Each structure stands twice: as C-alpha cells, then as structure tokens.
C-alpha cells in the first residue's frame, strides 16, 4: 500500500489545507495523475499519484489543515515494480499552469475557481471570463451563480403594497489562499506595532525622463526607478531593511536585496519577489517586473517567485488609490506603497503657481525597530532621488 503524503510545495511551508480531492475510493489512477488539491499560504497546488493503482482509502477530510508529512490517502499499486521505484515523494505540480492546446475546450481557471464552480453545480465552460486573457476568475463564477439564481421581477397591475420575498445571502468559501492571507495579515497586525508615515513626491522630472527614453525605444517601468531609489535609501537607513529577532534579542540587517512586489492576482494578494535587485540594471529590472506581472496574472507564479523577501513595495496608483495604511509583510520591518499620480497646481521656489505631477506615498514601519524621525529621513532621501532623477543616475555609477 502506497501512502500519498503532504509534501512541501513552497519555500518554508509547514502546513496546508485540503481543498479538494480529484479522485474517490475505488478509482483507478495512473502515475503522476493529480489526486488532491492543497491550499497553502501562497498557492493552490496539486499532489500527483506516485504510482498507478486503485485508491483504497481517503484519510483526511476536505477543509482540514494538516502538517507536512501527514498521510492523505492510500493507493494500492497495480504493478509491483512501481512499488520498489517509489522511494521519495513525487514532485509537485503547481496549480493553474499555462493553458495547452487540446482538441476540447480548455478553460483557463485556477483549481480553487473550479472548486467554487463545482460547489455550485456550474459548468465552468459556460462562464464568461472578464479578463482579456480568457482566464475565468472566482468573481466571474460568483457573478454567473448570482445571475442564474436572481429571480426576475415581473410587472403587476396591483396597486396594493408590494411584498418581497427575502433572499438568503450568497456565501463565498473562506478557505485556501484567501484564508491564508487573512492569517498572515492578522499575524502581522497583532505582532507589529504599525505606524504609517505619509509623503508626497513630485514626479514631473522622472516622467519627463521616462518619456525621453521611450521616444528612443527604451521604455522603463516606473517601478524600476522606485526600486533603485529605495535601494540607495535603504543602504543609508538599513534599519528599514531588517528583521527583528526577539528570540536572540537583536535586529538582523539584511544584506541581500530581495524586493517583494505586492500584486493582486486572480487568486488574491501575493508577494512575488525580484531577487538580488541591487545587482540588476534598470533595463534588467524592467524586464523582470514585466515577466513577474505576466506570471502573476496568468496564475503561473513559480515557487522561486514566492520565496521570502527582505523589503516589500506596493504600487496601487494605477488602480486610482490616493492613500492607505498598508500592513507590513511580516516579519519585515517596513512596507512602502505608491499611490495615484495626478497633475496639481503647486507653488514653486519663486512663489509662482505651476502645474506638477504629484504622487502620494505611504510607508508603514515597525515602531519597535525604528522611530518616526528616521522614517521621515528615509522617505525624504527617497523623494529627493525621484524628484531629481539625474542624481539617482549618479548613484548607479
């Protein structure tokens, strides 16, 4: 009898929630066939069958959270030679890989989205995707369910008072990645005394420089400039590029710059990273940012993309945000968020009213590790580099 156990499907994973079984007792499975979906704090993954055979027993029920190494189900191998071959856990296939061509219609959707469709008895192929890429999201399925269950109002000539039948609210399963996000946010907020500092940045010169480069075919993502400026500021104020180690009573100043990019994906908020950002040029940063964004939106993030970061930034400006109090990505010391850039009337050094492109930023930091004055000095340094991008270029030499 072969045991299918929960294996580590991500960096530092210790537990996972059973999201859905893809087989039943008595089913015949083949080697590497997905048999169970497991939700971690970063992704929904499929565990494959290590051998061909018959599913004899399902041990752990759906919805239960178990530790790595727990046996989930038993498979009776159909070939004795396969039993001797299986000596180590089978590799994990990350959920929601890029779509592959097949003779039948293959809907782009994560396993969790498919689970919601199954729970409501919905054929996911009938759901219209709102995303231009064709990927069906959790919200698409829920809208489809609501449209199918909402009663149609009919005209009535009765003048008397109309009574309406109360409709029970729809429910969304609180499990998988969404539940893990909630646990991490709660851990951060209840562990770290948050303080949020706000500042504004004049983006006029930087936007002009980007436009100049774009005109000669060198388009650089604005986040690449932000990362470079943050690296300069963090080197001067390393307390914000640190982690508090209470057990050993010390503050660990990070030496490797792994930037976490808070990203909204079809599966919820994730923080993929750009590793060794201080060793990359502006062009290389731009290329990695574009590739990371595409993988996040397509549900194709790799385990290497989700390793722990040393500093996290979030650019919510394209969504229209003007301010926020972001929650720190525990156990880091700080998180900086960039908001919408818009033209405003400002007074220059000659007391003249001029139109400038202004952006708000908000920075949350751990008040156990740093003080407000240091946070102001740090953001002032960052602002000076962005407002005078030629000085930023000098720092890159």
For Cα atoms 170, 174, 179, give the angle at the middle one, nearest 5 degrees.
Answer: 155
Q: Which residue is catalytic, options 7, 120, 197, 367?
A: 367
Which has the closest alpha carbon to 299: 261, 342, 268, 334?
268
- Across 316-331, b (16+ Cβ under 10 Å) vs e yields bbeeebeebebbbbbb
Q: How many CB atoms lie within 10 A of CB 305?
A: 22
Which has the closest alpha carbon to 22: 118, 109, 98, 120?
118
Q: Are 23 and 55 in contact (CB under 8 A)?
A: yes
Four-residue CA torsion sign, 345, 348, 354, 355: negative
Q: Please state the separation of Cα 154 from the chain's center in Å.
A: 44
Q: How many CB atoms lie within 10 A of CB 162?
A: 7
User: Is 367 marked active-site?
Assistant: yes
How far apart are the C-alpha atoms of 285 and 262, rounded to whole Å?
A: 16
DSSP per-residue string spanning 354-373: EEEEEEEEEEEEETTT--HH
Helices (H), the chain: 80-85, 111-119, 138-149, 176-191, 204-215, 222-236, 282-297, 372-387, 389-395
Q: Dihedrals φ, ψ of 233, to 5°?
A: -65, -40
**Catalytic residue annotation:** 367
């Amino acid at each position: 009898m072969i045991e299918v156990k929960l294996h580590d499907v991500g960096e530092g994973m210790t537990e996972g929630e059973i999201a859905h079984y893809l087989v039943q007792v008595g089913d015949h499975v083949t080697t590497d066939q997905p048999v169970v979906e497991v939700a971690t704090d970063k992704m929904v993954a499929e565990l494959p069958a290590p051998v061909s055979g018959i599913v004899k027993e399902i041990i752990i029920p759906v919805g239960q959270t178990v530790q790595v190494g727990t046996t989930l189900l038993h498979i009776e191998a159909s070939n004795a030679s396969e039993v001797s071959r299986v000596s180590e856990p089978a590799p994990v296939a990350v959920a929601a890989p890029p779509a592959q061509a097949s003779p039948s219609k293959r809907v782009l959707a994560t396993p969790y989205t498919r689970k919601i469709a199954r729970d409501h008895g919905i054929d996911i192929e009938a759901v219209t995707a709102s995303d231009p890429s064709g990927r069906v999201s959790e919200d698409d399925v829920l809208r489809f369910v609501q449209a199918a269950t909402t009663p149609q109002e009919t005209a009535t000539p009765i003048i008397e008072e109309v009574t309406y039948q109360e409709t029970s609210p729809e429910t969304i399963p609180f499990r998988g990645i969404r539940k893990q996000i909630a646990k991490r946010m709660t851990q951060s907020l209840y562990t770290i005394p948050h303080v949020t500092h706000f500042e504004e940045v004049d983006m006029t010169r930087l936007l002009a420089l980007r436009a100049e480069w774009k005109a000669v075919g060198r388009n650089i993502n604005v986040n690449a400039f932000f990362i470079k400026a943050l690296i300069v500021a963090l080197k001067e104020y390393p307390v914000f590029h640190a982690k508090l180690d209470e057990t050993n009573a010390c503050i660990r100043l990070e030496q490797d710059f792994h930037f976490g990019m808070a990203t909204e994906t079809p599966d919820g908020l994730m923080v993929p990273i750009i590793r060794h950002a201080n060793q990359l040029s502006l062009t290389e940063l731009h290329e990695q940012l574009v590739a990371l964004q595409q993988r996040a939106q397509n549900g194709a993030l790799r385990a290497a993309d989700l390793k722990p970061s040393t500093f996290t930034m979030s650019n919510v400006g394209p969504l229209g945000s003007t301010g926020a109090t972001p929650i720190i990505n525990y156990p880091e010391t700080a998180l900086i968020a960039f908001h919408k850039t818009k033209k405003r009337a400002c007074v220059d050094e000659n007391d003249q009213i001029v139109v400038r492109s202004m952006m708000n930023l908000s920075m949350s930091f751990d008040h156990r590790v740093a003080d407000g004055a240091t946070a102001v000095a740090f953001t002032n340094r960052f602002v000076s580099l962005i407002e005078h991008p030629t000085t930023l270029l000098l720092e890159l030499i």
